[in-house]
């Protein structure tokens, strides 16, 4: 039977309150989703009072400050801190974004931070991206050329053909788009989602690749591609300003006209 209520153990409860001890006049309240798989407890929301006078401008600076100075058990991913690696993607104030790019100065009032939505949670703000990465692998994101071609020869690309990859190669696979897509929420196991489809399009558009037809054939599937209903949440959530919805509609057009 279909279950419409949340299971008891997934209901979010009120967590700990960490009061500021610095006496600062510039305090921001930050509410953060916490869940520890090693404890037999429901997820909870902890609240931290953070002194913004001694804190960088980004949401990631707040998280680092909390981890370094208040609660070292707070768990989240980050690496480059410059919008390049995609690892710090999370939901800040209801919007999927990169915490290292998002300025907390743009947020009025308290800040709410959750993991990327509709994924299993590994711990605190770390969501499980293994399905998405399996899907990424399935589109074979590497250059495919005739095996018999001599390997040592450089493959040239004209400036015009190189330009066709603009707006595609910049994708950092942060998953902000896929996890804001309602179709991906409901069919995430079968629908490839905007991040992976944008990547598929990137390789299909690469003039050096010799498997365009096979690549198109692989994604021409009622679930893998056609679960996109052009809702456009993906494009509005991309922190790199890319347009996965347009890439998906270009794929559909190519299939319809090829």
Binding site for ligand FES (CB under 6 A): 78-81, 83-88, 98, 100
Select the residue interacting with ligand SF4 from 176, 200, 204, 219 (CB under 6 A).
176
Residue 219 within binding range of ligand SF4, rule CB under 6 A: no
Residue 245 binds ligand SF4 (CB under 6 A): yes
* Nearer of residues 82 and 148 to ligand FES, judged by Cβ: 82
Q: Determine which residue in the list 50, 90, 119, 171 makes contact with ligand SF4, applying CB under 6 A.
A: 171
The reply on whether position 116 binds ligand SF4 by CB under 6 A is no
Q: Does 167 bind ligand SF4 (CB under 6 A)?
A: no
User: Under the criterion CB under 6 A, does residue 200 sit at the interface with ligand SF4?
Assistant: no
Q: Are 135 and 200 in contact (CB under 8 A)?
A: no
Question: Can residue 198 be called a binding residue for ligand SF4 (CB under 6 A)?
Answer: yes
User: Are 220 and 257 in contact, with CB atoms under 8 Å apart?
Assistant: no
User: Which of 15, 43, 167, 194 touches ligand SF4 by CB under 6 A?
Assistant: 194
Q: State in angstroms the smallest separation of the CB of 63 from ligand FES.
A: 10
Q: How far apart are CA 176 and CA 40, in angstroms?
A: 29
Residue 185 C-beta: closest distance to ligand SF4, Å = 9
Burial of 165 (0-12, 13-18, 19+ CB in 10 A): middle
User: For residue 197, which of 250, 144, 248 has the smallest C-alpha distance?
Assistant: 248
Buried b (16+ CB within 10 A) or exposed e, 42-75: ebbbbebbbbbeebeebbbbbbbbbeebbeeebb
**177 touches ligand SF4 by CB under 6 A:** yes
Among ligand SF4, ligand FES, none, partner that 244 touches (CB below 5 to 8 angstroms by kind): ligand SF4
Comparing CA positions, the residue from 158, 237, 238, 246 lying closest to residue 201 is 246
Of 156, 141, 240, 149, nearest to 200 by C-alpha is: 141
CB 120 to ligand SF4: min, Å: 18
10 Å Cβ neighbour count for 211?
Answer: 16
Residue nearer to ligand FES on the CB measure, 100 or 248:
100
Q: Taking CB within 5 to 8 Å according to partner kind, which of ligand FES, ligand SF4, none is near residue 78?
A: ligand FES
Kindly state the smallest distance separating residue 11's Cβ from ligand SF4, in Å. 28
| Distance (Å, whole) CA 132 – CA 111 | 28
230 lines the binding site for ligand SF4 (CB under 6 A): yes
Q: Are 202 and 168 in contact (CB under 8 A)?
A: yes
Per CB under 6 A, residues contacting ligand SF4 are 171-177, 181, 183-184, 194-195, 198, 228-234, 238, 240, 242, 244-245, 248
């Amino acid at each position: 039977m279909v279950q419409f209520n949340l299971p008891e153990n997934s209901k979010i409860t009120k967590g700990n309150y960490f009061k500021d001890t610095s006496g600062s006049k510039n305090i921001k309240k930050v509410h953060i989703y916490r869940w520890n798989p090693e404890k037999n407890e429901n997820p909870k929301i902890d609240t931290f009072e953070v002194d913004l006078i001694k804190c960088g401008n980004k949401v990631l600076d707040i998280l680092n400050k909390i981890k370094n100075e208040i609660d070292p058990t707070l768990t989240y991913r980050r690496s480059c801190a410059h919008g390049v690696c995609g690892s710090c993607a999370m939901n800040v104030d209801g919007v999927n974004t990169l915490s290292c790019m998002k300025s907390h100065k743009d947020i009025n009032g308290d800040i709410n931070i959750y993991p990327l939505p509709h994924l299993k949670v590994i711990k605190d703000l770390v969501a499980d991206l293994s399905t998405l990465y399996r899907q990424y692998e399935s589109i074979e994101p590497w250059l495919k050329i005739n095996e018999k071609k001599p390997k040592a020869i450089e493959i040239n690309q004209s400036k015009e053909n190189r330009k066709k990859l603009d707006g595609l190669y910049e994708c950092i696979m942060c998953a902000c788009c896929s996890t804001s897509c309602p179709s991906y929420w409901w069919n995430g196991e079968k629908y490839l989602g905007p991040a992976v489809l944008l990547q598929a399009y990137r390789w299909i558009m690469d003039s050096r690749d010799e498997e365009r037809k096979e690549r198109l054939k692989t994604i021409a599937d009622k679930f893998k591609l056609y679960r996109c209903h052009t809702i456009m949440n993906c494009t509005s959530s991309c922190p790199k300003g890319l347009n996965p919805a347009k890439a998906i509609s270009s794929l559909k057009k190519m299939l319809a006209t090829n």
